[in-house]
Structures are given as C-alpha cells and as structure tokens.
Copies of this chain bind each other. A is one copy, B any other.
Amino acid sequence: MKAGLLIIGDELTGGSVQDVNASFTARELDMIGWSVSAILLVGDDPPSIISGLDYLFSRSDVVIVSGGLGPTADDITTAAVAEGLGLPLETDEEVLAGLKERFHAFNIPWTENNAKQARFPRGAEVINNPAGTAAGFYVKTEKGAVVVVPGVPREVRRMIPEGVAPVLERDFAEERTAKARRTLKITGLSESRVDEIIAGIGPFPEISLGFYPHFPEQHLVVIARGRDAGEAAARLEDADKRIRRALGGHVYGVDGETLEKVVGGLLEERGLTLAVAESFTGGLIADRLTDIPGISRFLERGIVAYSNDAKVELLKVPADIIEKHGAVSRETAEYMARGVKTSSGVDLGLSTTGIAGPAGGSDEKPVGTVYIALAAPDGVFCRKLSLRWGRRGIKEIGAQTALDMARRYLTGGAVCDE
C-alpha cells in the first residue's frame, strides 16, 4: 500500500522551519509494510491544499495530511480538506465537550475560535491526540481516503503509531508481514568498511539493512520480515549474531544506547572509577560522560590540561618528558593517564593529547596526530591516530576513541587491536 504525505505550513515553504514529520511518518509506515509515493509541502492556502490532495490521490491509497489544525485564522486545513472532498463540516459534540473541559482544567478562558477544533468533515472518524489539543481525523470517500494530523512533531510522533497506523491496518488489510527492527551502533570503522564487511557475509534473506553514518559512528538498521512476530524476531536474532561476529568488537550497543551510557553502565557493573585528562579533546569526553545521570559515582574528575604547566602541575608529567618527546607524544599521553589515575585515586585514567589544528602541525607531527592512553591497574594502553578532519571532527573522533578504549578494557576485549 502507498501513502502520499501532504505537509502544510507557510513556514515550511518559506524555509524558516525544517519539516521532520515526513521522514518520521515514512519510517513508521515502513514498519507496517507501507511505502510513501510522494511527499508534498505547500503553504497554508486552500487551493494548494486541494490541488495537492488531487495530485497525491492519483498515486496513493491514502493521503496523510499534517499541519494547520490550530484554532487561529491561518489554520485552514480541515476546511480545505472538506472542500477538496466535497463534504460539509459538522461539530463533534463529544470533542467539543472534551475541549471545554480541558480549558477549564487548565484554567484558560474559553473563546469561541477554539470550537473550530471540534469541527470535522461529515463521516470522519476522530483520531485522538494524546499530546495536544487538536484532534486528527480519518475520512474515506470515493475521491480518496485522507488522514489528517496536527503539525507539531511531538504530537505526530504519538499519533502516527498510536492512532493512524491502527486505522490503516484495519481498513487496508493485505497479505501482512510482521517486522522486527534493531539499530546496531558501530564505532571505529568507516561506512565503506562496514558496507564491505557486511557484503562479504551476505545474503540475508528477508532482511533489509540500512546504513546511517552518525559521525563519528555508524548506525546499521536491521529490519527482519516474517509471517509472524516470532519468525521476524528469530530472523533478526540470527542476522544480529552474524553481523556481530563479522564486525568483532566494533558493535558497542543497540537502539537508544550511547557509547558514554555503555561505558557508564560497565563502570557501575565492575565497580570501578574513572578520571579523565584531556588536552585536544578539550572537555568533550567529560561532557559526554556527565550527560549520564548518576555518573558522579564513577567519574571522579576531569582535567583539561591545555597548557604544559597544567600537564606538569596537575598530572605530574615530568617536564623533561615534554621537553624530550613533546606535549603531543606517546610518552606524554601515558604519563597524563597515569598521572590523573594516581592523583585522583581512581581505577582507570583516560588521557588525550594531539594537534587539532588548524595551526600547530609540523612535517613530523601534522595536524590530526593524536595519542590516546588508558591507565589501568594492569598496565597502560596507548593508541596513536592520524586524523584527516577539521578541528571539531578531530575532537569528536578523539573523544569517541577514548571512550571506546575504556569500553574495550571494561568488556575484557583488546584495547588497541588495530
């Protein structure tokens, strides 16, 4: 089955607001086996809405309309859709009573323009809005079937899966396939390398794979199909196992997990504490770790040792080591990791030193030369990377690599296997 998406709002065609409802809706529809024929964005203007509906009817089983359901004068979607379908508008008394109740509960004075949100084309089925005031509706006529929802992304994210998908599945039943979905989060490999590895272990029957670069990591969305949920889930598990085997330790988590969340969880599990000494990453590792609630039990401190003085004074890096090998060197990185571990009395010390540019590079140590070290009870591990990115990119890969070294150590994997 095919859906056309009609997204309404002057702010969208004017470019001041970026639509996010279309891609969300397309992904949700994909989960129930629907595809999107076309996405059309027009302004708050009845003729555009009506001609847009006609255009989308000609290539879709259903048109899903989003936006323009508010109480103000420029919210004309319901009236335009009714006109396009040749249906009169009628007040739904139940919705009207609910609106008035809501206003009363929130102590907001009722004004008559709000009654507009209780008017729907004749024969429409109301679709409840669990996240806002404006209800949606569904109406099926000879001209075509239309679903209308508000434009507020927070409301759309609730109404499509909870209200719209069930209606479509009820009225447009076809040979159904169940789906199961998982996002594998991958770090330390380029998109093309992941692609190549996965291509080498295929084919994956009844599985769709989608690659989504999320710098500095890669997300691989695995969707498995089956005759029922059990079969889809079993196929997903099988694909997951094969992919993880091929990608080795590069899969750090799934779905909503972040690398810092995984590291925080592992510290908690192992009962270990961490401190961080950052030079070129400039606080980014600490910033990411401190996004995790409760991390204060495991993260003792962070030092942003930008100057050599700070490295000597706070991290006890011997001045002659910096003199001899340079602030950007394996030796300095290792002293920094040991220094922050010892001085803060924690189990693990993580350090970074490098040249983020654009200035500061040399022939011997060009911009992008970075060292990342982990001091643990059983030794010090250090990686050198040569990164070809801008300043922010170098910081982001540096922080990612440091967190991943901690993860690999905490899971008992090789810390520096590349």
Residues of chain A having any CB pair with chain B under 8 Å? 12-20, 22-30, 35-42, 48, 51-52, 55, 59, 210, 212, 221, 276, 278, 280-287, 289-291, 293-296, 299-307, 309-310, 314, 344-345, 356-359, 391-392, 395
Whether B38 contacts A38 by the Cβ 8 Å rule is: no
Whether A306 contacts B310 by the Cβ 8 Å rule is: no
Please pick, from B36, B283, B296, B391, the residue contacting A14 in the complex, using a CB distance under 8 A.
B36
Whether B35 contacts A22 by the Cβ 8 Å rule is: no
Measured in the bound complex, the distance between the Cα atoms of B293 and A207 in whole Å is 46
Distance in angstroms from A222 CB to nearest chain B CB is 13
Whether A41 contacts B39 by the Cβ 8 Å rule is: yes
Q: Which chain B residues lie closer than 8 Å to A40 at the CB level?
A: 38-41
Measured in the bound complex, the distance between the Cα atoms of B293 and A280 in whole Å is 11
Taking A282-B290, A287-B395 as known contacts, 12 extra A-B pairs with beta carbons closer than 8 A to each other, sorted by chain A number, are A13-B26, A14-B36, A15-B22, A38-B41, A39-B42, A280-B290, A290-B304, A291-B392, A291-B395, A295-B306, A301-B304, A303-B304
Q: How many copies does the complex hold?
A: 2
Q: Which chain B residues lie closer than 8 Å to A285 at the CB level?
A: 283
Whether A304 contacts B307 by the Cβ 8 Å rule is: no
Measured in the bound complex, the distance between the Cα atoms of B48 and A117 in whole Å is 35
CB within 8 Å for A303 and B306 given contacts A40-B40, A41-B39:
no
Distance in angstroms from A161 CB to nearest chain B CB is 13
Measured in the bound complex, the distance between the Cα atoms of B217 and A408 in whole Å is 38
Whether A303 contacts B303 by the Cβ 8 Å rule is: yes
Q: Which chain B residues lie closer than 8 Å to A305 at the CB level?
A: 301
Q: Which chain B residues lie closer than 8 Å to A294 at the CB level?
A: 359
